[in-house]
Amino acid sequence: MKKKFKLEDLDCANCAAKMEEAIKKIPGVINASVNFLAQKMMIEAADEEFDSIVEKAVACISKVEPDCRVIL
């Protein structure tokens, strides 16, 4: 499954790169990207694990930038 999410209050491109790297390291993630300019995140992962992977990705984003919100 591949899905895009809108991000709010993503403040810098460096933080977006850190988020992307952290999300790619989550077991089960096939591909991920965080686009600072578009304020969007894309996650591609196996269907059966997708919801738990999204929860872990949101946690990664909160660690890097606590003010950033993911619109689910």
Assign residue 51 the CATH number of its domain. Answer: 3.30.70.100
Q: What is the pTM of this model?
A: 0.94
pLDDT number for residue 40? 98
Summarised one tens digit per residue, pLDDT across range 28-56 is: 999 999 999 999 999 999 999 999 999 99
How many angstroms separate the first and last alpha carbons of the chain?
15
Q: If you search the block for the tokens 């894309």, which residue do you land on?
A: 42
**Angle formed by the axes of helices 50-64 and 13-24, nearest 10°:** 140
pLDDT number for residue 9? 95
- Domain membership of residue 55 as a residue range: 2-71
How many domains are contained in the chain?
Answer: 1
Residue 46 to residue 6: CA distance in whole angstroms: 20
Query: CB within 8 A of 40, min separation 6: which ones?
Result: 4, 5, 6, 7, 34
Task: Return the H-helix or E-strand segment holding 51.
Answer: helix 50-64
Instruction: Quote the mean pLDDT of the chain.
Output: 96
